[in-house]
Chain A
Amino acid sequence: MAFVTATWNPLGEAFYRKTEVYEMGWRLSSGLRDCLVAAAPYGGPIALLKEPQRRSPSARPQLEIYSSSGCSMASFVWKSGVVKHLGWTVSDDLLCIQEDGTVLIYDLFGNFKRHFSMGNEVVQNQVLEAKVFHSPYGTGIAIITGAFRFTLATNIDDLKLRRLPEVPGLQGPPTCWAVLTQDRQSKVLLASGLDLFILDNTACSAVTPPGLSPQVCSIVQMCVSFSYKYLALFTDSGHVWMGSANLKEKLSEVETKVKTPPKQMVWCRRPKSHQPSVVMMWERHLLVAGECKETIQYHLDEESVLVPELDGVRIISSTHHELLQEVPAACEEIFKIASMAPGALLLEAHKEYEKESQKADEYLREIKEQSLLGEAVRQCVEAAGHEHDIETQKILLRAASFGKCFLSNFPAEYFVIMCRDLRVLNAVRSYTVGIPLTHTQYKQMTCQVLIDRLVYRKLYPLAIEICRYLKTPEYQGVSRVLKHWACCKVQQKEESDEAIARAVSVKLAEAAGISYSEIASKAYECGRTELAIKLLEFEPRSGEQVPLLLKMKRSQLALSKAIESGDTDLVYTVVTYLKNEMNRGDFFMTLRNQPVALSLYRQFCKHQEQDTIKDLFNQDDDHQELGSFYVKASYKEKRLEARLSLLQSAVDEYNKAKNEFAAKATDEEMRLLRFQRRLEEEKGEQLLGLSLQDTLRVLLSVGLNKPAEQLYKDFRVPDKRYWWLKITALADKEDWDELEKFAKSKKSPIGYLPFVEVCVKKHNKSEAKKYISRVTPEQKVKAHLAVGDLEGAAEAAIERRSEAEISMVLSRCLSTTDRGLVDRLNRARSTTAKK
């Protein structure tokens, strides 16, 4: 305990500490010399390629993958081309970028996954230098070629190569460069001597860092912080310039008194930290620079590599693995010598309490008097989170727990969650797992991602334990781990299909939300179709089964599964697939057994393939639909003959369907068309396409009474409608004499109110009045009202003693002008009401 501060070094206002994380488990014969090294952030794996330049087939370089603690995970001889750069993706895959721009991807265990190329320009000019970077869009690669042009891919899982614009006047390689992510775009920042440029998709713009000291001739090294917010530049004058990455603000400038460019320079800045700081490394020399003039210097015993992290820097050498970081505020408050912070006092109090000394009470009182006990507990809990040493964690948590006893309303979650987090962290930090995450990193990466990382390492039992311990919802937790396990299991070639299917189903039976189709896919990829089908049977989501079933050529099964899912798009997909795969006869037969698919296919054909739909109806002997099909087709024909012949086919089909009405109606339609054509030819009236009614109307209005008469008889038009037609036509022509003659020709089947109405419509009230006497008593009131004769209407209504009709008349009367009438009606209404 007393030695907690032994590793601390002051820098300005803050302290920095360098603590050992692991003693490395690897045995490297020649250290890290002549090695390409890539260590993934968040305590990820380390890849080493020894002597990458070696090409002779007899002595090929060796590629090795280790955990952060130096436990070997894979080792194999590198047989491909010359590797320029190694890097890790966010999903723990290793990227090997070759001289010719080919990128090979391997998993953690050295299994080859896939490869892709960075484009022709890179092939031609070769890779000069490459960088792997991470952004919200995934893992990206940036390359500078021998022609000093940059090519960028922002996300290697969705590869889109972008060639950045040329840098004007760039003759040789840039002195240094870095990738930035700004405004949702990845850009390259490069220095050529003293000139700084930002390259984005479309432009190259020159920039100047504010306040760079004047004696500088060249920027020789640069680095961007983990969050892309800050930038550090190292100059040939030995100065480090620190500022914001948008180059708007300068934070500090420190003289290092070293003029050689550092081998590596990285940011060492924790979120919410006191000051910006950068770590630089030369051969055997490490230097931390912050805001003040002073620096911290360390001597390195061996060749090392710096790994920037969110909240510090890891230093890996052939024997040790250390973490260098700014001491977190809570730890500083508690452990700083002679600190009187509440947390420090609480820790003291608890120590005295353990010793059974009454001093404990004194310390406690001191904190409580300032009412800082809550703050004290919080400090202890937070500090525990930042300590790697388990004993220190325990001491701090015990002190916190002790302090909590004297508080009534301190929320328990904070303490509980920290205990839980630490338990998980200690488990993954253990030497055998080798993921040295800090608490800050863990919170940033989330438990979900941690579980993923464990799964990539095939540490299934630990992953499941953690999920259960943290009570992660099964769907996101245990089930997901088990799915990965199963995907791994189906690749075990030595076991039989039955055994694997059984093992998988037994283990996964209880787990909710398992995607068996994914597992089956994996099995199919490994060439195990039978196993895949067996596994698919466990899949509860029928929709998910379909694509794989199709791929495995089990189309019939796919069709019924698609229908089962209810997803019509899926049914369509299978149907189109079947259509291409089968001969027409079989295809139709298959559809016939699946009515849902059949009707969907019909819909499809209706819009896309008219001929097919006819065949479909034909096959099903659906004469009714065939009839309608021909009717529809007939309207598309321009020539009358063609149209008539289609209609004839429709008549035949309707007859076969025993739809007598439709057959007759269609026959009538043909007769009408022929009639219209004949009349058009003879009389020159435009008739074709009109309805029977409209044809009659036209004929009557131009006075072609004879053909009208003939149509009326031939088509057995009901008298009522014919009378309506006739009187409307006459009124439209204002042929009042003819109308009167017609009214008298025989008894009207529609009564005489229509006569009144058609006259009124043409504003001829006097003609209208002629027919009122002939209107039936029931309609008299209406008739009078139609011609505007209120008196008459009132008369008729009172005579009929109909309350409703009296009211109707009343509603038309104006109280001012029709006073007398209103009174009469009111009186009549009350007498009718009495009866």
Chain B
Amino acid sequence: MAAHLCYGRVNLNILREAARKDLREFLDKCAGSKAIVWDEYLTGPFGLIAQYSLLKEHEVEKMFTLKAGRLPPADVKNIIFFVRPRLELMDIIAENVMSEDKMQSPREFNILFVPRRSMLCEQRLKEQGVLGSFTNIDEYILDLIPYDGDLLSMECESAFRECYLENDQTSLYHTAKGLMTIQALYGTIPQIFGKGECARHVANMMLRMKREFAGSQTQILPVFDTLLLLDRNVDLLTPLATQLTYEGLIDEIYGITNGYVKLPPEKFAQKKQGEGGKDLPTEPKKLQLNSAEELYAEIRDKNFNAVGAALSKKAKIISAAFEERHNAKTVGEIKQFVSQLPHMQAARSSLANHTSIAELIKDITTSETFFDNLTVEQEFMTGVDTDKVNTYIEDCIAQKDPLIKILRLVCMQSVCNNGLKQKVLDYYKREILQTYGYEYILTLNNLEKTGLLKPQTTTRNNYPTIRKTLKLWMEDANEQNPNDISYVYSGYAPLSVRLTQVLARPGWRSIEEVLKMLPGPHFEERQPLPTGLHKKRQQGENRTTLVFFLGGVTYAEIAALRFLSQMEEGGTEYIIATTKLINGTSWIKSLMDKPEVNI
């Protein structure tokens, strides 16, 4: 089921299995047939842990979406609410429970809070007078969800907004708890590095929890050597840039949610004989994207410009493999060929899918708009004219291009210029308000609060220094056979990943100056290991680092880290964890505040 989670350096399936075990145990606690009422937000993340078959094995017969009013009829013994601990959801649950028909055979109510139970919510249920109606109230600790062989995500969309805009550190608490779970399963992580306020906060909580649970830790040889905690606001630039890896572009254009992407169906029409393609499918095509698919694992992290070549190479290999059948003479050879058929057919359909996706993407990347947009991005990243109003942005506003596109560009200019001159900033803001509506003043306020948009306070722009020291721009990025992480943005090397790379070698001490320019403290902590658990490193054995992005990470950054893991002389392998997989669009969207207009 989840074999792709075991292949990596660290077997993340252990985590998944632990999560599944907890789920089964809870389901068995509610004896008899059951119906689950879902907080809709949770269905995606749960899909990464358990399919419907698991639920069915444990007598889950029906599933509903949580909504106000009366529960749909279902002849089951138990109703289980799977919800996040949110007050507004409690009100809905209370309504559901109260409108339950008393005449019918009584059903037992249960709540499973994800990821943690909340006294506040239980209090609310009590106030509503329904707390006593519940047979079981439990929590399902689901902090870090295994997303792929080297990737963990909390699937917490609003983490960045909560931390940097609303000063609500709940997600950081869950992060710390999640990291404690990781340590319980994979051993204490001896070294912790971090950069940023939130990173500091998480590290503090982890150290505190460690003290609190002194004596209870299991004796496991540490799997991870280092944990690196990075605040997203240390590197605001990277997510704003358009990702140019294959997976990054899929996400930028179609959006990947919980490991699935929905694509326009036209290109995937089954070309069956006799049908003449008269009825095209209208439902979007839904595909799961992860390293379980061999071809995808191979091309996902490539620069899109190198994907075409890879696909055609693969096509040749596959057709050659099919040709083999002509060479199969003996019964034994034919048998062997047949035994490989399913695998080959899977490879062929995978190839067909990705060829279609690549075509879809190519239509967009070759368009003029895409090119112009990219040109401006690259100008900003290289520091060209970042202090003036940009004509391209002006034109885009005048033509009322999508607002998020404008905001991404304006924010990028601001970040690359360490803030905009007051006059420039006000000009942009006014243009946006006049074009898109004054209600966006709230969104602009939010962007300013998080530092994505800011007026220049000092005359000195330190971005060029940072760019030069960390080599953020590489003039001759090799897209086909990369030799540096900058290939993921065709020239721009993501700052966050550069920090990670420098940490491994030669160490942060070499870039003290730059670290001081970036927001928040940087730190190093050591967690003592019990005697006997110190790892004796074999000659040439790689170190393993867990990089945690607080506030989100992009697919391009992940690609860059995977590239570093594979570098022969790198000496470090990376496992990536994050609050949520983001791209510039989803990120900016999470920061927008658009009140509904009532007039």
Residues of A within 8 A of B (CB): 184-185, 473-475, 479, 511-513, 540-542, 564-570, 572-573, 576, 595-596, 599-600, 602-604, 607-608, 624, 628, 631-632, 635-638, 640, 643, 661-662, 665-666, 668-669, 672, 688-693, 715, 717-718, 720-721, 724-725, 728, 750, 754
Contacts and interface: CB of A to CB of B under 8 A. Distances in A.
Determine which residue in B201, B394, B433, B438 has the highest number of CB atoms from chain A within 10 A of its CB, and name it. Answer: B438
A636 B598 CA distance: 6
B103 interface: no
B431 interface: yes
B173 A661 contact: no
Interface of B: 31, 85, 87-88, 116, 118-120, 123, 166-170, 172-173, 176, 201, 204-205, 208, 211-216, 394-395, 397-400, 426, 429-431, 433-439, 441-442, 445, 593, 595-599
A666 B439 CA distance: 9
B217 to A, nearest CB: 9
Contacts of B88: 607
Contacts of B169: 566, 568, 596
B438 A569 contact: no
A358 to B, nearest CB: 48
A186 B184 CA distance: 37
19 contacts: A184-B31, A474-B215, A564-B208, A566-B208, A567-B173, A569-B119, A569-B120, A569-B170, A576-B120, A631-B439, A635-B439, A635-B595, A638-B598, A665-B430, A665-B441, A666-B438, A689-B599, A720-B395, A721-B435
Contacts of B445: 624, 628, 662
A607 B121 CA distance: 14
B211 to A, nearest CB: 5
B398 A725 contact: yes
B177 to A, nearest CB: 9
A564 B441 CA distance: 35
A662 B437 contact: no
B434 A513 contact: no
A101 B362 CA distance: 79
Contact of B442 (A572, A596, A632): A632
B436 A635 contact: no
B172 A717 contact: no
A689 B400 CA distance: 17
A691 B438 contact: yes
Contacts of A542: 208
A724 B442 contact: no
Nearest to A782: B368
B435 A666 contact: no
A631 B444 CA distance: 13
Contacts, number: 145
A114 B85 CA distance: 34
A721 B431 contact: yes
B176 A566 contact: yes
Contact of B215 (A513, A595, A631, A669): A513
A754 B398 CA distance: 11
Contacts of A604: 87
Contacts of A513: 213-216
A692 B431 CA distance: 10
A479 B213 CA distance: 12
Contacts of A720: 394-395, 398
A803 to B, nearest CB: 16
Contacts of B215: 473-475, 479, 511-513
A512 B217 CA distance: 10
Determine which residue in A602, A635, A724 has the highest number of CB atoms from chain B within 10 A of its CB, and name it. Answer: A635
B431 A643 contact: no
Given A567-B173, A568-B170, A599-B168, 20 more contacts: A513-B215, A566-B176, A569-B85, A569-B170, A573-B119, A576-B120, A596-B169, A599-B167, A602-B166, A604-B87, A608-B87, A624-B445, A631-B442, A635-B597, A637-B598, A692-B435, A715-B434, A721-B435, A724-B395, A728-B399
A669 B438 contact: yes
B429 A665 contact: yes
A750 B430 CA distance: 19
A691 B399 contact: no
Contacts of A692: 433-435
B320 to A, nearest CB: 29
B100 to A, nearest CB: 18
A631 B435 contact: no
Given A513-B214, A573-B119, A635-B595, A628 B168 contact: no
A488 B598 CA distance: 65
Given A721-B398, A724-B399, A569 B435 contact: no
Nearest to B371: A808
Nearest to B216: A475
B370 to A, nearest CB: 14
A693 B166 contact: no
A398 B439 CA distance: 89
A595 B395 CA distance: 43
Given A688-B599, A691-B435, A750 B395 contact: yes
A608 B89 CA distance: 12
A724 B88 CA distance: 45
Contacts of B214: 512-513, 540
A301 B426 CA distance: 105
B172 A566 contact: yes
A661 B429 contact: yes
A691 B434 contact: yes
Contacts of B439: 631, 635
B212 A693 contact: no
Contacts of A750: 395, 398
B440 to A, nearest CB: 9
Contact of B31 (A185, A541, A717): A185
A564 B596 CA distance: 38
A668 B431 CA distance: 12
A391 B593 CA distance: 82
Contacts of B176: 566
B6 to A, nearest CB: 29
Nearest to B117: A569
**Which 7 A-B pairs rank lowest in CB-CB distance, beginning with the nearest?**
A512-B215, A513-B215, A724-B398, A599-B167, A635-B595, A669-B438, A691-B437
Contacts of A665: 429-430, 433, 438, 441
Contacts of A632: 442, 593, 595
A573 B595 contact: no
A724 B400 CA distance: 10
A718 B599 contact: no
Contacts of A566: 169, 172-173, 176, 201, 204-205, 208
A635 B441 CA distance: 12
A725 B596 CA distance: 26
Contacts of A715: 434
B453 to A, nearest CB: 12
Nearest to B400: A693
Given A185-B31, A570-B119, A603-B168, A666 B441 contact: yes
A599 B166 CA distance: 7
A541 B212 contact: yes
Nearest to B105: A202
A607 B166 CA distance: 13
